[in-house]
Structures are given as C-alpha cells and as structure tokens.
Structure 1
Amino acid sequence: MKKITALLLIIAGLVSIASCKPKTAKTSEANETSKELPVKIIGEEVTYATDSTNLKGYIAYDSNAEGKRPGILIVHEWWGHNDYVRQRADMLAELGYTAIAVDMYGDGKQADHPDDAGKFAMSVMTNLPEATARFDAALNLLKSHASVDIEKIGAIGYCFGGSVVLTMANSGADLDAVAAFHSGVQLPVMPNDKLKAKVLVCNGAEDPFINPESVISFKTAMDSIGASYEYIAYPGVKHSFTSKEADANGEKFEMPLAYDADADKKSWTSLQKLFAEAF
C-alpha cells in the first residue's frame, strides 16, 4: 500500500511539473511578442490657437510604445512649418519621444524667398509676448497628448527656431532640455537666472550668420549663471548644415548655405546625449 501511495505521489508531481512548463513557455513567448512590436509612427496634423492667431502643427509618436514618454517641441527654420520640421518630428518619435512640430508664423505659413522669411522671422522675434503665446499654445497641446509625461519636456529648433527655443528657455519656460542648431545666439532675452534647462547649441564654425562676438557674449552669460550647457562649433561647416535642401537653396538665392552630413550626424548624436542626461 505504501509503495502504491508513493508511486501516486510521484506521478502527481510529474503531472504538476509538466503542467507548469507550457504556461512558462507561453508567458515567455508573450513577453517576447510584446518586446518585438515594431515601431509604428503616427503623424497627425493638429490645429490650435492663441487669442489672436490660428496655428497648424504636426504631432508624431510611436503608437506601439507603452507608457508615457518625454514630449519635445520642434521649431522650424525661418522658411516656416514645412516638411523638414515634420521629418524631424518623425525622427524623434522613432527615438521614443512624442514630438510636436510647432507653427510660429500662423496658419502654417511658409516663405518662398529669404526676404519673406526674414520678415516673418522678424515679426515673431520683435513681438515677444505673441511669440511666447504661440510657443505656450503648442506646449499646452503637447502636454495634453495622452502619451506625454508632462514632467519631461524639451524643445529643439533650427536657425530661427533655435533662437526661439533659446529665448523661451531664457524667459523661464518650464523645459528640461533645449537644443539649437545653426542658430543665432544674440537673443531678445539673454541667459539669466530664469533658465532651467540643460542647453545644447550646435553651429558651423564657418557660419557667417553667427557673429563671433555674440558667441562670446552668450557663453559669458551662460557661465555667469552656472548654466549646464555645451556649445559646439564644427570646423569648416556653414549655415543650415542639417538640411539637405541647403545646397539647392544656397545656389538659388546665392547664400552661404551647405548641408554637411558629418555635422548633421554628430549634432543628432549630441542631441540624443542631451536628452538621455535630461530625462
């Protein structure tokens, strides 16, 4: 009788072990399936407004990513809200962020000539209250997105857009990290104790639009407040080095613009490092 009882216990134990194995395998397979979901970027056109201006933006995010993630604002070059700034939003979404390509001119307005671009940009930079309202409207829209962690917000900008994000940060915007590419640093609001963000500036050392004295003034101001920043000047690199349209625009309008693949790649790597440290 004892032998039969012992045999039954052994059989029961083996059945129990066998029954557990498939469950473990299925759980493992489910986890692997979850981890292997491909990146699926959703790009959505959005409309928003200040009290005086209708604005058209673009939000990009990975719909297969779980949980909340940092939100990034992207401000366009002086040409306006175009495909280039949307491409950058998609690239940030691929890195795991939710990004909004901002409209600082209103109604998605774009310039076809440098003269118009200059006028559009000047109208924004000389009206800081309205510029701030447009930036804040995009910031609030970004924070309202279901995928965004509102405690982790950054902003980047190109050319005119770089000056915008630096100015907003210096004005006290609640940003964790700010990056400017081929951007002027002689700003309507220079660095002061309102600045909260870590800052990255990536410029071409041969960019004639960047006054050397303005760089010294910018660095001096940043150092005076103990700001966390990095200023990178790429040797031999001209203005608009991140844009593949730069060469064509430079030739068309006889301007010192040139795409530089190496500087473009290096600056994007530096941006990822900034975000990794900030978030």
Structure 2
Amino acid sequence: MVIKKSIEYGDEHGHYEGLLVYPENATGKLPCVLVAPTVWGRTSLEETSANKLAEMGYLAMVVDLYGKGFDASTEAAAFGKMADFNADRQFLLSRMQLIYETARQLPQVDQDKIAGIGFCFGGKCLLDLACSGLSFAGAVSFHGVLDAPDFNRDQAISTPLLVLHGWDDPLAKPEAVLALAEELTQKGADWELDAYGHTGHAFMKPEASNRETGYFYHAEVADKAWVRMTGFLKEIFA
C-alpha cells in the first residue's frame, strides 16, 4: 500500500502542485525520486511510475512545472509552456532548482539520496539540472530531448546519468545523441546510454500510437528500460 499526498511550492512566478507517493509502512528517511513529466504534464504515465517507485520503497515526487491548476491537455497549452522554457533555459533551471530544494526539505527524505527520472521534456529538465553543476544522486532520461542548455558550458557534471533512448526518435537524431555523449565525456560525467533499435519517441507511454511520425509505445522496450532504471537506482542509492 502507498500513501498519496499533494505538495505545494512556489516562487515569484507562481504556485505549483506536485504529488507525493510513498510506502504506507515507511519508517525513517527515504530515498527520493523526482518524476519529471512529458510536455503534457502529470498523466497516468507519471502517476503509475510514482506508484511503482513507492512500492520499491522510495518516496516519489511527481513534479509540477507549469503551475497549480494549469490545463496542459491541449497542444496549444502544453507546447506553449514548453516553448517558453526552451526560449529561456535558465528559467527552466530555476524551476527545477526550486523543485529539488522542495524535495530536500521534506521531512521524509534522505537529503543525500535524491534522484530523478524524466520522460521526454522531463528528461531534458533533469539533464539541465545535472548540467548546472548541482550534485545529486542520479538522473534517468526516458526518450528525453537531448539538446544542450546554453548555460554553464564549462561546468563539470558530477551527477551520474542514465540515458534510455529510442534510436529512431525523431526528437533526438543520432547526431544529437553523439553530441550529448561528447559533451558528457568532456565534462567528466559518469554517464551510461542504452539505445533501443526500431524504437521511436514516447516508447514508455501506452497511449502513443503514431508510428508514421515516430511517436509510439514499445511494450518490450518499456519493460527493459524500467528494469534498467531499477538497477541504476539501486546502485546510486546503495
């Protein structure tokens, strides 16, 4: 059994409402896993992932990037918000830093064991947080957007990273993957990359079904990627 609670946080730009999920019988402080959503905000993908993480003994925090009550269910709304963040990566970073600090202050959380997983845009958010120089336990990107931020270009990366990537992802072409690998190597990161053949974008999202555009669910790869993430979390939290 798990407990689910809303968590609110804010800054000068607005108020946000995330979701905490953790084991009902938990004692002591828990490792924390931030769950950064796709461009569509919190959906069943993120909530289901948080439930699974809580069943593994972690406190999962599904983060809110857009604002309490914001409806990201339309393309205009969701992609409009993402465009704002893409135009100002420092602004995106400040939102992720707020989220990280909010998690650190939770009484149930072991401050030395905070990691994150992110899907699509959420993967980008966590990679940006790592690129800022902040040292945290680790980050996992599922079919993430891989373009480099425009800040801290010379900053070393000390956060372990796992990138789980569909090789046919139209949002992260092979040249983008190689550019990321070169950057992470140059900055001294402890990084790993699993690339899955015949796999596009959104391979973790059961609702994705547009093979023609490269956005489609891949059940076998989704299972493999989740198992890979599970092992990574066990390693970094050991």
TM over 0.5: yes
Shift in Å at residue 161 of structure 1? 0.5
1:18 alignment counterpart: none
The aligned runs of 1:237-256 (5 Å cut-off) are 237-247=199-209, 250=210, 255-256=213-214
Task: Give the drift of 1:143.
Answer: 1.9
- In the alignment, the residues of structure 2 paired with residue 108 and residue 173 of structure 1 have an alpha-carbon distance, to the nearest angstrom, of 29
Secondary structure in 2 matching 1:47: strand
In structure 2, give the amino acid aligned to 1:229: W
Q: Which whole-Å deviations, capped at 9, do the CAs of 1:120-143 have from their partners, x for residues lacking one?
A: 112123223432332222222222
Task: Give the SS at the match of 2:96.
Answer: helix
- The structural deviation recorded for 1:273 is 1.4
Q: Which digits, 9 at most, give the CA deviation of each residue in 1:232-268, with x for residues without a partner? A: 1111011100011112xx38xx743111111111111
The alignment status of 1:210 with 2:172, answered yes or no, reads yes
Q: Which residue of 1 aligns with 2:232?
A: 274
Matched, 1:157 2:118: yes
Partner in structure 2 of residue 227 of structure 1: 189
Question: Kindly, what percent of the aligned residue pairs are identical?
Answer: 29
Q: How many residues align?
A: 236
Residues 98, 210 of structure 1: alpha-carbon distance in 2 compared, 3 angstrom cutoff: same
Contact 2:139 2:162 in 1 (8 A): yes
Structure 1 or 2: more helix by fraction: 1
Cα displacement string for residues 71-108 of structure 1 (whole angstroms, at most 9, x for unaligned residues): 11111100112332122111111111111101111124
- Structure 1, unaligned runs of 5 or more: 1-39
Q: Judge conservation of contact 2:93–2:129 (CA < 8 Å) in 1.
A: yes
Q: Structure 1 CA distance, aligned partners of 2:233 and 2:10?
A: 28
Residue of structure 2 aligned with 1:139, choices 82, 100, 103:
100
Find the residue that maps to 1:137 and give its secondary structure: helix
Q: 1:224 to 1:255 in 2, by over 3 A?
A: same
Residue 193 of structure 1 and its aligned partner are, at CA, apart by 3.8
CA distance in 1, matches of 2:150, 2:112: 24
Pair member with larger Rg: 1
Q: Which has the higher strand share?
A: 2
User: Higher RCO, 1 or 2 (CA under 8 Å, sep at least 6)?
Assistant: 2
Stretches of structure 2 lacking an aligned partner (at least 5 in a row): none
Tell whether 2:127 aligns with 1:169: no
CA RMSD for the aligned pairs? 1.9
Question: Separation in 2 of the partners of 1:189 and 1:278?
Answer: 28
Alpha-carbon distance in structure 2 between the residues aligned to 1:189 and 1:150: 28
Q: SS at the partner of 1:54?
A: strand
1:83 and 1:120 map into 2 onto residues whose CA distance is: 20
**Compared CA separation, residues 260 and 108, structure 1 to 2 (3 A):** farther
Q: TM-score, normalized by length of structure 2?
A: 0.91
State the match for 2:39 in structure 1: 78
TM-score (norm 1): 0.79
Equivalent residue in structure 2 for 1:186, among 121, 138, 147: 147
